[in-house]
Structure 1
Amino acid sequence: MFISYNEACARDCSTLEQDLVLCEKAGFDYIEIRLDMLTDYLKRHTVEELAAFFCTSRLKPHAFNALYLYPEFLSEGDDEARQKELLEEFRLGCEVGRAIGSHYFIIVPPLQREPAGGPYTGSWEDTFSNCVRILKELSRRAEPYDMNLCFELVGFERSSVRSIGQADAVVRAVDRPNVGFVFDSYNIFLNGGCNDFSAIGSVQPEKIFAVHLMSADDVPEAQRGQDKRCFCGRGVVDTGAFLQELKAAGYSGIVSVETFRPEYWAKTPEWVIPNAYKTTRAALAENGCL
C-alpha cells in the first residue's frame, strides 16, 4: 500500500504550496488535494505550475476532495444556481486532474451538514434512487477526463448513506467502471461505533479506489463529530482490523491520512505533516501493509 496525505489535516494552518513541499520532504507517496485549497492556490499560481511540480516530484496527486451531493442535484427540480456552482467544482477538479495526472474524485452522498440540525430525514429509497441517478450522470461527465468517482459513505445519523452495505448497493446499481468506493475508517466507525469492518469483504474488491485512515477520540456517540479524528496510534477506532480487512480483500492502493482536528490546525504544517506521515506509516508497517 502507498502512503497518502489528505490536505484536511492542516487545512487551517497551511496552503497547497506548503503541503506539496512538506509532503515531498516527509516521504509521502501521494497527496489528496482539497478543492478549496486548490482554488486558493490558483489565485497565485497556474495549473501549469502545479503540473510542473508533479513532473519533477516523487510525490504524486491522487483524489480531489470532495464533491458534496444534495438530493435534487441534476434533477428536474434542481436549483439552477446551486447546480451550476457544484458542476463548476466538478469541472475544475476534472480539468486540473487531466492536467496533473490525477484520476480520482471523492463524492460524498447527501448530508444534513449542520451539526445541531438533527439526523438526515430523507428515506433510503429516495437516497438510493438519487445517488444512482447522480452518479450515473457524473460518471458520464467524468469519462472524457479519465476520472474515477470514489463514493464515500459517512456513518453518522446526519448522513443519507451510512453503511458499507448501502454504499455497495448504490455502486452495484450504478454499474459503471469509473464508479467505486473510498473507505474511511472513522466514517465506518461512526455508524454505531462499529469496529467490525468485515463487510469490506462483501464488496467488489476492484471497486475500492481509495482508503482514508485515522482513529478518533473515545467520546459519547452524541459527541462523535469529524473534529474528533486523530492520527493513528491512539484512539478508539480499530485501525488494525480495518487494514487487515483491506489486505484480505487484496487492496494495495493508497492509504490517506485525513483528519479535521482543530488541535492540529492550531499547530504548524511543519508539525502536522511529518507527524501525519510517521503515525500512518507506523500503522501500515505494524499490519504488514507496506
Structure 2
Amino acid sequence: MKIGFNQATSMNCSTLEKDVLLCEKNGFDFIEFRLDKLKEYLKDHNLEDLKKLLAGKKIKPHALNALYTYDNLFADENSEKDNELVKEFIWGCHIAKEIQAGYFIIVPPLQRDPNGGPYIGSVEKTHENCVRILNHLSEIANDYNVKLCFELVGFNRSSVRTVEQAWNIVNEVDKDNVGLVFDSYNLHLYHGLNDFREIKNVDVKKIFCTHINNGDFIDIDKASQENRRFCDFGSVDLNNFLKNLKETGYHGIVSVEIFRPEYWQKEPEWVISQAYKTTKKVMENNGIHLSK
C-alpha cells in the first residue's frame, strides 16, 4: 500500500504549494487536493504552474475532494442548482485530467446543518437517488478518464451510513469508473462501529481509495468530523480496520484525512510530519508492506 495526504488535515494553516513541498519532504506518496485549496491556488497561478510544482517529484496527485450531492440532483431538467454543481464538477474533472489525479470523491446527500437533526429519508429513496446521481456523474467523468469514489458517512445526518448500503448502490450502478472510498472514522461514526469485517463483502476492485484517521473518546452520538485525530491513539480500532482491509487484497492508497481545528492552529511542518509518522507507524505495526 501507499500513504496519501488529504489537504483537510492542514486546511487552515497551509497552502497548496506548501502542502506539496512538505508532503514530498516527509515521504508521502500521494496527495488529495481539496477543491477550495485548488481555487485558492489558481487565483494567483495557472494549471501549468501546478504541473510544474508537481513535476519531477515522488508525490503524485490522487483524488479531488469532494463533490457534495443532494437528494434531487438530476431529478429535474435545467435546474440552476444542478447546473452550478455540474459546472464545478467539470472544472474539477478537467484539472484532474490535466494533472493525472484520476479520482473524484463523491459524498452522498447529507443534512448539512450540524444542529439540524438527522437526515430524513428512506433507504429505498436514497438508493434510487444515489444510483441516478452516480450514473449521471459517471457519464460526465468518463470524458476526463476520472473515476468516482463514493464515500459513505456513518453519522445520522447522512443518507448513506453503512458499507452494505453504499455497496448496494455502487453495485447497481455497475460502471467501471464508479467505486467506493472507505474512511475509518466515517465507518466508526455508525454507532461506534469497530468491527470492520463488512468491507470484505465488497469486490476489492471497487475499493478505489481509503482514508485513515482516529477519533476522540466521546459519546459517538455527539461526535463530529472535528473529533478526528492522528492515527496513533483514539476510539477507532485501526488494527481491525487495517486487518480487514488487508484481507480484501487491497493494495492501494491509504490517505490520512483529519478535520481537527486544533491541528490547524499549528505550523504545517508539524502537522504534515506528524500525519506521516503516525500513519506509517500504525500501518507498519499491522504488517502492511509500504510499496516504494
TM-score (norm 1): 0.98
Q: AA paired with 1:163?
A: T
- Partners of 2:191 and 2:221 within 8 A in 1: no
**Residues 113-142 of structure 1, C-alpha deviations (whole Å, 9 max, x = no match):** 111110000111111001000101110111
Q: AA paired with 2:73?
A: F
- Partners of 1:5 and 1:258 within 8 A in 2: yes
Shift of 1:213: 0.2
Task: Report the counterpart of residue 180 of structure 1 in structure 2.
Answer: 179
3-state DSSP of counterpart to 2:143: helix
Task: Report the counterpart of residue 154 of structure 1 in structure 2.
Answer: 153
Task: Report the counterpart of residue 43 of structure 2 in structure 1.
Answer: 43
Q: Write out aligned runs for 1:36-185 (5 A).
A: 36-76=36-76, 79-80=79-80, 82-185=81-184
RMSD across aligned positions (CA): 1.0
Aligned length: 289
Percent identity over the alignment is 53
TM-score (norm 2): 0.97
Query: Which sections of structure 1, spanning at least 5 residues, go unmatched?
Result: none
Q: Distance in 1 between matches of 2:87 and 2:217?
A: 38
Task: Report the counterpart of residue 13 of structure 1 in structure 2.
Answer: 13
Q: Which moved more, 1:5-14 or 1:84-93?
A: 84-93
- Partners of 1:23 and 1:59 within 8 A in 2: yes
Query: Which sections of structure 2, spanning at least 5 residues, go unmatched?
Result: none
- Partners of 1:209 and 1:253 within 8 A in 2: yes
Q: Distance in 1 between matches of 2:199 and 2:132?
A: 24
Q: Which moved more, 1:85-94 or 1:132-141?
A: 85-94
Q: AA paired with 1:171?
A: V
Q: Distance in 2 between matches of 1:178 and 1:167?
A: 15
**Residues 247-275 of structure 1, C-alpha deviations (whole Å, 9 max, x = no match):** 10000000000000010011111110010
Q: AA paired with 1:44?
A: D
Task: Report the counterpart of residue 254 of structure 2 in structure 1.
Answer: 255
Q: Distance in 2 between matches of 1:88 and 1:239?
A: 37
Shift of 1:78: 7.1
- Partners of 1:32 and 1:64 within 8 A in 2: yes
Q: Write out the 4+ residue segments of structure 1 that deviate beyond 6 Å after TM superposition.
A: none
- Partners of 1:48 and 1:99 within 8 A in 2: no
Q: Distance in 1 between matches of 2:247 and 2:108?
A: 27
- Partners of 2:187 and 2:193 within 8 A in 1: yes
**Residues 195-242 of structure 1, C-alpha deviations (whole Å, 9 max, x = no match):** 010001101110000000000001012321000000011101001110
- Partners of 1:72 and 1:78 within 8 A in 2: no
Task: Report the counterpart of residue 2 of structure 2 in structure 1.
Answer: 2
